[in-house]
Structure formats: structure tokens, C-alpha cells
Structure 1
Amino acid sequence: MMGKERIDVLLFNQGLASSREEAKRLIMAGLVYHGTEKVDKPGTKITMDAILTVKGALHPYVSRGGLKLAKAIEAFSLSFEDKIVLDVGASTGGFTDCALQHGACFVYSLDVGYGQLAWSLRTDQRVKVMERTNFRYADPDWFDPRPQIAVMDVSFISITKLFAKLKEILIPEAMIVTLVKPQFEAGVEAVAKGGIVRDKAIHLQVIQDVVQKARDVGWQANGITFSPIRGGDGNIEFLLWLTSQDGTSFPQITQKDITDVVELAHQLAQ
């Protein structure tokens, strides 16, 4: 009787991924098929003679960060068509590229660093490069026209410190899609050696705290999911969709929504 093996191991063994970690990313990005059936759980075991295929590229954007925003757009059914977007923590531009490929007409690409943004975006007339810029001290006058959507992927700072500034700069009916990185939201005592947060309870608490602090300054949480790929240090990260409390009518997420997402993220990470 033919033995069984994990799908991520088979994908690597068949030469379709350069490493087990890349195999997991391909699977979680929805690019791996067993026959005509999409497989999305790296730990699922199938027969060792199974024929797997990879459809599409793992990196359709200038960096893998674009895959994170792409998942949020799909999971929350968001439209970026003809929207003016602010990308906070743009780095090489994965979020900026994803926003443009999903129809955004203009993106402010802002980062405290310098020289990181991909050349293809740096020379794109739809992109305003805002380097060496700390968003905490941004002036609303810098943004004309005002952004309708903010996307964020920041490190070494809690995203909760930026919510009030976003209220100042975005239009009243704006929305935010932000990466939630537990390693930068949890207290120092909760972060293990190497900057990893593995505790499910801490992930739950971090998301709850972020949602509450967003509410405190006029944002409401409408969607939560997990990132399709881990952070560079191996951390599980999450994607949160927020809308302004000024006149929006989307249903808000519940405690069960948060719990279910954290549980699934941990199951798939095993």
C-alpha cells in the first residue's frame, strides 16, 4: 500500500519549491493543486505518488508583501478601483504594487527609510515617493488629494500609535487595511528569544487590544484574517480591515471571529 506524506514535503521533494518554507507559502497562497483540486493546508497528507502542480507565480508583486494585501482584498471583498491610497511603511513597495494592480489610481508611498522602493514604482507617475518620512509627524497638507484608503505594514512600533494620525489625513469615509504584528504589539515579556510570539493567547489579546484602541479614536473593525505568509522572523501575522465610524454600515467583527482566525492560523502553521 502506497504511503502518505505531507503536501508541503511532497511539493519540495517533487522540485516544485526550493524549500519546505516556500512550499508552505505556495500552498497558503492558493497556488498548489492536486489534480483539479486546490490544496490549502500544508500539513494535509496524501499518497506519495500524487501529482502536484503550481499555478501562478508566488511573487506577482515587487515583493512578497503584496501577497499579504492581496489576501485581505480577496478575504474582505475590497475594491481599490480608482482609489487614492496611502501606503505607510512602503519599504520595497509590495503593498503599493498590489494596490495599483487592483486598480488604485494613485499611491502615496511613505517610509521612514530611504532607497528601498522598487525602481518600477519609483518611476511610476501614479506613485508619490515619500521617503525619510515618519508618519507620526505627517502633516495633512502633504496629501492633496486626500487618501481614501490606507494600507500599513510597519515594524518596531505599535500600529495603535498611528490610528489618530490616520484620522487627520484620510477622508472621513476612509478605510484601513493593516498588518498586525504581535511581536511589535505585545509587551517585551511576551516576546520569546528571537522576537517570536508563539502563544495563541497573546495573539488573541493583541488583536483585541488593537481593535479596542482603534475604536477609541473612531475606527471600527470589520474584518480579520491571517497573513498567507509569515513575517521574516517566522511570526504569524494578521490582517485587519478597519472603516471609519463616520457613517459606514459594515458589520463589525466579533470575539468569535477573532478566536476562529487565530485558531485556524495556528492549525495551518503546524
Structure 2
Amino acid sequence: MKEKTPKERLDTLLVKKGFFESREKAKSAIIAGLVKVDGKLADKPDIKFSPDVSIEIQQSLPYVSKGGFKLKKALDEFKINVTGFIAIDIGASTGGFTDCLLQEGVKKVYSIDVGKGVLHEKLRKDSRVVVMEGINARYLKEGDIPDKVDIITIDVSFISLLKIFPVIKSFLKKEGIVISLIKPQFEASPKDVSKGGIVKNIDVHLKVIENIKNNLKDLGFYLKNMTYFFSKEGKGNIEYPTLFVLQEKDEISIDKIKEIVREAFSNWKLLSKK
């Protein structure tokens, strides 16, 4: 009986097959959503596959990960020019937000992530990037970052934004702004999250956003604007890039929030049916 060929980690396979010269580069490409195995997107470097699987590397993105598109959409829709800004990027991961900020003209980014070895090599080599790995942002202390910054971006998973915002105000200039991703799947009650981690109930989305809005208002952050983002295939969750400021007069109305969420759901459902 012919022995089965042992399976190997995907990042190792990519190096062995000559797609990348190192496992770190392979890992970055996988996390960035550029690798398909047998026609399906593979987003975890440690999943094991047989060496004879079909592997496809998709065309390179303008950013090191798809996260860059989310921030770019927010900057464009909110009409924010970040040229010359100093920034903090919380939950940097591969560096999609960091990359977008740099391409938009930011002069320095403190790139923070709880993980290690994930930030793309291109960004590690960029003199404008201060790499802060292995740091849980909720435990940041005054003095950890020497600059007062113009903008803080936040893209975190498996933790509520309500655990992050209390510590960031001391790093922000008075006229500074925060762009964060509201991810309902990590803010909602577990009973409201369906199998696969999808939050399909529009009322849950509205409840999550209103809860964040009200709680952050108590901390002195005011939700000024928001938009929405989901994959072009309509799969996965709707996420909400949101703009927070320190001036109450700029606060968005609940009616406007409802309008944006309804539009998001309408477009998401259209794509999901295709």
C-alpha cells in the first residue's frame, strides 16, 4: 500500500515550491489574502496541506494587506488629509493600515500589535515606522510613546474597542482624530453571533454601534462620521470604519447612523445573493 505523503504547513510549502524566499514573506502573503489553495482562499499560515495541492498567488495589492482598503475608504469619505501627521496604528498585524497611512503622507507611525513577527518586512525597513511588537494596547502607559499624535487608527479582533479607548486619549493631540473599525462580531453578545462568526441581524449592529457611541462619549470621544466595508463577494461581516473626535459639536445623529447601517445591509444582501 502506497504511503501518504505527509502534510506540511502552508507557509513552508510556499517556500519549498519557490513562491517565496522565506517563511516570513510567505506568512505575510497568506495573512494578506493573496494565497489560494485548490481555488479557495487560505488565510492561516499553519494549516497543513498535501504537497500536491494546487497553489495560486494572486496579484499583489497596493497595500501589504486588504486592511489598507478599509482605511483608504474612510480617509476618502471623511475627507481627511493626513500629510505630515504623526500616527499610532493599534492592531497593526501585517500593516495594512500602517502602509495606507504612509502612502497618504504620514511622517511617522507607531505600529503596535500584540503579536510578534507579523508586520510586513517592507514596513519594518521603513524609517518612518516605529515597530512596537508584543504589546497589548490596552496596557499602554504614558511615556510608552514620546509623541502627541494627530491620528490613531484601530483595527483589533477578539477584544472590544471599549477596552482600548480608555488608554489612548493621553497620546492624542487636542485636535487629534481616531479612525477605528467597529466589528460587531467582537462587540455583540455571543448569543447574537451566528455560526461562522457572522452577525446577520441589523438590530444587533445598531445596538453595538449605539453602545460604543454612548460609552465613548462618556470618555470624551464623539462619533463624527462612519462608513461601512465588506468583501466584494458579500461574504463575512459588515465592518464600520468610524471617525471619533474630541469635540461634541461634531457628533453624528442616531438617524444618520441608522441610515448608514441600512444602506450597508442592503448592499451586503445584494452581493450575498449573487
The TM-score range, normalised by the shorter chain, is: 0.7 to 0.9
Equivalent of residue 87 in structure 2, options 85, 88, 111: 85
What pairs up with 1:28-39 in 2 under 5 angstroms?
A: none
Partner of 2:225: 223
Q: Specify every segment of 5 or more residues in structure 1 that has no aligned partner in the other structure, as ranges.
A: 1-17, 23-56
Partner of 2:266: 267
Runs of 4+, deviation exceeding 6 Å: 230-233
In structure 2, C-alpha distance between the alignment counterparts of 1:240 and 1:231, rounded to whole Å: 22
What pairs up with 1:50-61 in 2 under 5 angstroms?
A: 59-61=61-63
In the alignment, structure 1 residue 210 sits paired with structure 2 residue 209: no
Q: What is the percent sequence identity of the aligned residues?
A: 41
Per-residue CA deviations over 1:103-148 (Å, capped at 9, x if unaligned) read 1000000000011101000110000000000011112212122221
1:169 CA displacement: 2.0
Computed over aligned residues only, the root mean square deviation of the Cα atoms, in angstroms, reads 2.4
> Is the 8 Å Cα contact of residues 221 and 244 (structure 2) preserved in structure 1?
yes
In structure 2, C-alpha distance between the alignment counterparts of 1:59 and 1:239, rounded to whole Å: 20
Partner of 1:164: 166
In structure 1, C-alpha distance between the alignment counterparts of 2:140 and 2:251, rounded to whole Å: 29
Which structure is higher in RCO with an 8 Å CA cutoff and minimum separation 6? 1
> Is the 8 Å Cα contact of residues 196 and 233 (structure 1) preserved in structure 2?
no
Partner of 1:188: 190
Partner of 1:122: 124
The TM-score normalised by the length of structure 1 is 0.75
In the alignment, structure 1 residue 152 sits paired with structure 2 residue 151: no
Partner of 1:73: 75
In structure 2, C-alpha distance between the alignment counterparts of 1:187 and 1:238, rounded to whole Å: 18
SS at match of 2:168: helix
> Is the 8 Å Cα contact of residues 211 and 220 (structure 1) preserved in structure 2?
yes
> Is the 8 Å Cα contact of residues 59 and 67 (structure 1) preserved in structure 2?
no
**One-letter code aligned to 2:262:** E
Partner of 1:198: 200
SS at match of 1:266: helix
Partner of 1:109: 111
1:150 CA displacement: 0.3
**One-letter code aligned to 1:237:** E
> Is the 8 Å Cα contact of residues 143 and 169 (structure 1) preserved in structure 2?
yes
The TM-score normalised by the length of structure 2 is 0.74
> Is the 8 Å Cα contact of residues 68 and 229 (structure 1) preserved in structure 2?
no
